[in-house]
Structure 1
Amino acid sequence: MNTSNFARLKELFRRAAAGQELTIAFLGGSITQGSLSTQPGNAYAFRVYQWFVDTFPQSKFHYVNGGIGGTSSHYGVARAVTDVLMYQPDFVAVDFSVNDLEVPFRQETYEGVVRKLLTWPSHPAVVLLNNIYYDTGETSQDEHNAVGDHYGVPHVSIRDSIYKDLRAGKYASRTLLSPDGLHPNDYGHGLVAGEIIKLLEAVNAHREEPEQEPAFPAPLTANAYENARRLTIRELSPKLEGFRADPEEKLGHLDHWKNGWIGQKPGDKITFEVDASCIAVQYRKTIRRPALRAQLVLDGDTAHAAVLDGNFEEDWGDCLYLQPILHHGEQKTHTVEITILPTEDETPTEFYLMALITA
């Protein structure tokens, strides 16, 4: 807590004590969404929201949960506005510490999330949550907290609290709080919420003590992703040669397989022109194998074509897979051509292209 600035949290608590109407929001992956909790009210996010409700009964609070399972800060920065910020939150807790392990430039995309939250007009108080793999101890905490410290944003570490107690033998077994080694059960969600609430209570106890918010610093990284965009059929009209636009309406941020494009047979092609220096393609990896695969060619460079494999080798469900194609490239109009590859399977699952993520 010594490296953090609490000016925004104190202002939030003063507003809550004065009876203002406030919005409490969360942005993250499956743990934020509430995975393995038996009901939404047992998820750590809702428990933290409930703490606000119970602590400040004179105020009216709204709850926004922008958690989506299996998603990293690369996707998070592109969807922060539509899934959280459009509701003008007064508080945002953000967690991508386990999902960012697969992103090679994770500190840069995470900084994009933090900067986008901090500069939003509703001026939310931001708290960073660092979850962990309970069975391996893996987390992106160090890189994420370096960003937090750079901006003076408070952070809560599961590695330095619950996981530390687990390693010290406070809990008889890891499965008491996380059956699969990652996602908390109801008890585990309660522990995670408790760590955030400890921070909130400590700051709230001193809310009347003045604290000056520091000047907004220059970026810590190259920061190419702060203004990342998610481009779907609502924003782009690519050239379709066999691919078709999905006509079904999207119902909420968890209604994933909508607003995209569908390839149904080998040879189907879709071509985009996008102005960017960073490009990633988001598509479905499905457990309904076998599934179609596609080839992506950037700017006509067939020698370095990428394969987009619609087959998901895990079994927990279909994956919102985000595959980087260009990182810190030339800022210009790029051509992205995606073609369904030949297959010997008689009835493969269709290829679902959700979006391009550009920056």
Structure 2
Amino acid sequence: MTEEQFLRDSEEHVDIRSEAYREMIAKSLLELGNNKRLKAAIEKAKRGEDVTIAFIGGSVTHGAGADPLHLDCYAYRTYAGFKERFGREGGPHIRFIKAGVGGTSSELGMIRYERDIRRDGAVEPDIVIVEFAVNDADDETKGICYESLVRKALAADNAPAVVLLFSVFENDWNLQDRLAPIGRHYGLPMVSVKDAVTEQFYKSKEEGHVISKKQFFSDIYHPTNAGHRIMADCLCWLFAETDRCEPHQEDINLDQPPVYGSDFADVQLLDRYNGIGVAEITEGSFSAADSELQFAEMDDHPYGTPQFPYNWMHASESGSDSFKMTLHSKSLLLIYKNSGSDDFGNADIWVDGKLAKAAESHAVNWTRCHAVILYREQVSREHTVEIRMAAGHESRKFTILGFGFVK
């Protein structure tokens, strides 16, 4: 047992039945928002109809810090709490979808949404919880990608409820101030773990202290089992409060200008699996397939699922021919692999004959998916993209995981 584990385990027991705990959880309710969609999902569950509750986010949604990850993460606990409160006995009519990928922001999340939440059109979620408040420092657009993801989810034909969840780091930081205006603009329910726990960290028991940082965090980023339990209780508090309220008669209004922008609300994934007929592609020396990928435990699975397996990899012995793609679009993002391996190198990305980006495999020294914007324009037109290994890196590897494009 490490010293940190000993200190955490020796802390006083968290009394989840205390009035202080209840008050802490209640503070998480940042906004009830327009409840029409969430009430509709709750009523469906009560009637025994099929209801799907889905979660998309970073490593906290993936379940990092929970043990076992797939059952003690906040997402599964929230699903279990919703099912216990609103589901009918004897029926497996509440479905759980979890799509958290560590170290990734909404810039990648908006591209993953159709594949990982809607399962390429096979699933229409009734409730979508979005958790990127501690990941979106990597959003190049500072809010446009997040708002695009939110609008993408809201605009579905089945009118799902979208809940914004703001988790927090050990240093009390998140991007709630940037993201909450989007929720207020569209009248969305919002839950802030930061608002619930941060203030009480610094109080005495008499003043309302419930849980210490050592109890709540497994490291500087991720919750312990106790922390995940609190996050789930915060979301379940929103569900309970919504259930007690009268329903709004009018739906949220999407026919209004965005707060930051919605340039990527219609973004689509392009990879080796679905690229045929969408773009003209010459693989060149990027003809191999990379199987050493980032893995994430999806849904309630105890095993990891490889992320972006339909990729193009430049292997050490592949040669020097460029990857070339011609595509009619107004926006394009590249998804590529970061790696801690010295075998991987850098690539230069050229758009319409001009150097647009230098992609560094060691931007972070661990295996993860990374998305960058190559261009963003107002009008769709034909573009040519060329990717070739950077000078001096020709004998190293580089993996193109895929692209996100807007027609």
Pairing of 1:137-286 with structure 2 (within 5 A): 137-168=172-203, 170=209, 173-206=212-245, 209=247, 211-220=249-258, 221-236=260-275, 237-244=280-287, 246=289, 254-265=305-316, 267-286=320-339
**1:116 maps to what in 2?**
152
Q: What is the Cα deviation at residue 94 of structure 1?
A: 0.8
**1:23 maps to what in 2?**
52
Mark the runs of 5 or more structure 2 residues left unpaired by the alignment.
Answer: 1-29, 299-304
- Sort the Cα spacing of 1:142 and 1:19 in 2 relative to 1 into closer, same or farther, 3 A: same
**1:37 maps to what in 2?**
66
| 1:154-198 deviation digits (Å, cap 9, x = unpaired) | 101122112232244636742321122111111110111111111
1:74 & 1:195 partners in 2: Cα distance?
Answer: 26
One-letter code aligned to 2:404: I
**1:5 maps to what in 2?**
34
Return the match for 1:320 from 349, 361, 369. 369
**2:14 maps to what in 1?**
none
For the pair 1:353 / 2:404, whether they are aligned, the reply is: no
Q: What is the Cα deviation at residue 255 of structure 1?
A: 1.1
Please, which moves more after superposition, 111-120 or 327-336?
327-336
1:3 & 1:47 partners in 2: Cα distance?
Answer: 21
For the pair 1:129 / 2:129, whether they are aligned, the reply is: no
Q: What is the Cα deviation at residue 289 of structure 1?
A: 2.1
2:273 & 2:308 partners in 1: Cα distance?
Answer: 14
Contact 2:288 2:315 in 1 (8 A): no
Return the match for 1:296 from 339, 342, 349. 349
**2:15 maps to what in 1?**
none
Q: What is the Cα deviation at residue 210 of structure 1?
A: 5.1
1:227 & 1:329 partners in 2: Cα distance?
Answer: 13
Q: Tell me, what secondary structure is at the counterpart of 1:278?
A: strand
One-letter code aligned to 1:336: V
**1:343 maps to what in 2?**
392
Contact 2:35 2:247 in 1 (8 A): no
- Sort the Cα spacing of 1:344 and 1:28 in 2 relative to 1 into closer, same or farther, 3 A: closer
Aligned residues: 350
1:165 & 1:272 partners in 2: Cα distance?
Answer: 54
2:54 & 2:116 partners in 1: Cα distance?
Answer: 10
- Sort the Cα spacing of 1:128 and 1:325 in 2 relative to 1 into closer, same or farther, 3 A: same
Q: What is the Cα deviation at residue 272 of structure 1?
A: 1.0
**2:19 maps to what in 1?**
none
One-letter code aligned to 1:278: S
Contact 1:4 1:154 in 2 (8 A): yes
Q: What is the Cα deviation at residue 305 of structure 1?
A: 4.5
Q: What is the Cα deviation at residue 246 of structure 1?
A: 2.6
Return the match for 1:310 from 361, 365, 385. 361
Output the TM-score relative to the length of structure 1: 0.89
Q: What is the Cα deviation at residue 209 of structure 1?
A: 4.7
Q: Tell me, what secondary structure is at the counterpart of 1:112?
A: helix
Return the match for 2:143 from 107, 121, 130. 107
One-letter code aligned to 1:269: S
For the pair 1:80 / 2:113, whether they are aligned, the reply is: yes
| 1:66-121 deviation digits (Å, cap 9, x = unpaired) | 11112211111122111112311111111111111121313111111111111112
2:227 & 2:290 partners in 1: Cα distance?
Answer: 40
Q: Tell me, what secondary structure is at the counterpart of 1:55?
A: helix
| 1:28-73 deviation digits (Å, cap 9, x = unpaired) | 1111111111111100000110012211241521111111112211
One-letter code aligned to 2:375: L
Contact 2:267 2:405 in 1 (8 A): yes
